[in-house]
Amino acid sequence: MSLFSEVPQAPPVAVFKLSADFREDSHPQKVNLGVGAYRTDDCQPWVLPVVKKVERLIVEDTSLNHEYLPILGLPEFRSAASKVALGEDSSAIKDNRVGAVQALGGTGALRIGAEFLRRWYNGTNNTSTPVYVSAPTWENHNAVGLDLTGLLDDLEKAPERSIFILHACAHNPTGTDPTKDQWKQIAEIMKRRKLFVFFDSAYQGFASGCLDKDAWSIRFFVSEGFELFVAQSFSKNFGLYNERVGNLTVVSQDKEDLTRVLSQMEKLVRTTWSNPPSQGARIVSKTLNCPELFAEWKGNVKTMADRVLLMRDELKSKLQALGTPGTWDHITQQIGMFSFTGLNPKQVEYMIKERHVYLMASGRINMCGLTTKNIDYVAESIHESVTKVQ
């Protein structure tokens, strides 16, 4: 008799299932708009040229030691990653108030940050501190834009010291980010109500094509004196999805506190993965720390961001040209990899079953799945589903 006989089947992960269904579909014009990774105009994954170059350098470097990385990760990676988020001339970095933990992707960074907060924030082992994550209720499904009133309301009502996970830019799944003024309002309330800021930054550079612009919100909060965490991922902006390159940046008001915080985080890492993988961190570190490679990388990132912006433009134009009912401005107003189309579940089902265009039930699409070759077909499909299905 197995001791595992009462294990229930966990529900399948929606986006994996979508990809699986797409793979099995044999329709010649099928399109996958559920994929969470960048694609070229030929719908292929893209190894950034700078990454190829650096990987080659690494594989040929005979002086590399092959030891375990320190528990907190590769030092030159951690500092370079934090610098790219907080800015070259960050006063927090100059004051030695910034520390970091290399993590297994953005998820790993969130995990370590969350575990730390659970044990050490707002008292010790205070598991009743609420954590707020953004919900579609802050974003209007008909894509009118960020429901700022709703968000500010939640901030006012949340118990003091609640933790808020905020997307630094390119909100997933909606693509709708607060404006600078809106960020200022958010910050004002969070400071007054002593709410904790935990930024999730997975798209720096990828959203607008500009690293600084995409990190504005983080830098603004730091300049306002907030202590905060940033869970960074280099999966998308380096195309290093499979190397799990993440960084948890910690900004503290006091450098001695910082040392103790990092020591506790080290303990947490020790019982999770102990020593992080080196390959991805080396690639990112080499790139960020070398001016020529850094410039080349920014160019690569802009290439990706520009293609996405182009697809947004084209999709909107084509829908307008087709006279598809509804307004489509949100497609170009939204930013980043994802977009909420505003299609309802029935219309989504039509898209998948009748047109073999795969997207999430929420109506979210990945702009990277669009190419100059399939955009007409997708626009027509959206047009059909909106006009035929209510």
Partner 1 sequence: MSRPSGGLDEILVKQNGGDPGGHHCEPINTHSAAAVPAAAAAEGAEPGPDSKQLSALKRDSQARRVDLTGREYYSEEGKTFQLRLVGKIKQQLNADPCLCPEYPSSLGLTEFTRRANEVVLGKSSRAIMESRVLGVQTPGFTAAVRLGAELLRHCFDAGAAWCGPVYLSSPCDDSLAGIFQAAGIQDIRRYYYWDDKLRCICLEKLLQDLEGAPEQSVVVLSASAHYPTGADLSQDQWTVITQLIMRRRLFPFLLLPAQGLCYGDFKRDSWPVQLCASQGMELLCAQSFSHCFGLYGEAVGHLLCVLKQSSLLISLQSQAVKLVRSLWARPSVGGADVVATVLSNPAHLVEWQGEVKRMVERSKLIRDILREKLRLLGTPGCWDHLTQQGGLYCSTGLNDQQVEFLTKRRHVNLLPSGCLNVSAINGRNLKYISESIHLAMTTSP
CB atoms closer than 10 angstroms to residue 1: 3
Count the site residues for partner 1 by CB under 8 A: 52
Cβ closest to partner 1, residue 125 vs residue 149: 125
- Which pair of structure tokens corresponds to residue 30? 């099928």
Cβ closest to partner 1, residue 11 vs residue 28: 11
Let me know if 236 is a catalytic residue.
Answer: yes
Asked whether position 53 contacts partner 1 by CB under 8 A, the answer is: no
Residues 6+ apart with CB under 8 A from 9: none
User: Rounded to an integer, what distance in angstroms lies between the CA atom of residue 175 and that of residue 335?
Assistant: 5
Among 17, 23, 29, 47, binds partner 1 (CB under 8 A): 47
Among 93, 100, 104, 351, binds partner 1 (CB under 8 A): 104
One character per residue 66-85, x = contact with partner 1 (rule: CB under 8 A):
xxxx----------------
Options 135-143, 176-184, 220-228, 262-270: segment touching partner 1 (CB under 8 A):
262-270
In this structure, what are the phi and psi dihedrals at residue 373, rounded to the nearest 5 degrees?
A: -85, -30
Asked whether position 277 contacts partner 1 by CB under 8 A, the answer is: yes
Burial of 240 (0-12, 13-18, 19+ CB in 10 A): buried
Closest approach of partner 1 to the CB of residue 344, in Å:
28
Cβ closest to partner 1, residue 47 vs residue 144: 47
Among 124, 127, 128, 271, binds partner 1 (CB under 8 A): 271
Q: Are 84 and 211 in contact (CB under 8 A)?
A: yes
Query: What does R_g of the chain's alpha carbons equal in angstroms?
Result: 22
Residue 45: asked if its preceding bond is cis (omega within 30°), the reply is no
Q: Which helix (H) or strand (E) holds 220?
A: helix 216-223
| Site residues (CB under 8 A) for partner 1, limited to 109-168 | 111
User: Rounded to an integer, what distance in angstroms lies between the CA atom of residue 100 and that of residue 80?
Assistant: 10
Asked whether position 23 contacts partner 1 by CB under 8 A, the answer is: no
Across the strands, what pairs with 200?
Answer: 167, 231
Cβ closest to partner 1, residue 208 vs residue 247: 247
Closest approach of partner 1 to the CB of residue 65, in Å:
6
Asked whether position 6 contacts partner 1 by CB under 8 A, the answer is: yes
Closest approach of partner 1 to the CB of residue 117, in Å:
15
Closest to 248 in 3D by CA, of 130, 120, 114 = 114
Asked whether position 49 contacts partner 1 by CB under 8 A, the answer is: no
One character per residue 279-298, x = contact with partner 1 (rule: CB under 8 A):
xx------------------
Asked whether position 45 contacts partner 1 by CB under 8 A, the answer is: yes
Among 223, 272, 317, 332, binds partner 1 (CB under 8 A): 272
Phi and psi based region of residue 48 (left: phi greater than 0; alpha: psi -120 to 50; beta: remaining): beta
Can you list the positions of beta strands (E) in the chain? Answer: 31-32, 98-104, 131-133, 163-167, 196-201, 228-233, 245-251, 338-340, 357-358, 364-366
| Site residues (CB under 8 A) for partner 1, limited to 209-248 | 235, 239-244
The DSSP symbol for 4 reads T
Distance separating the N- and C-terminal Cα atoms of the chain: 52
Q: From the candidates 46, 138, 183, 328, which is the catalytic residue? A: 138
Q: From the candidates 30, 83, 236, 286, which is the catalytic residue? A: 236
The amino acid at 373? K
Q: Under the rule (CB under 8 A), what is the footprint of partner 1?
A: 1-13, 16, 36-37, 45, 47, 55-56, 59, 65-69, 104-108, 111, 235, 239-244, 267-268, 270-280
Please list the active-site residues. Answer: 138, 200, 236
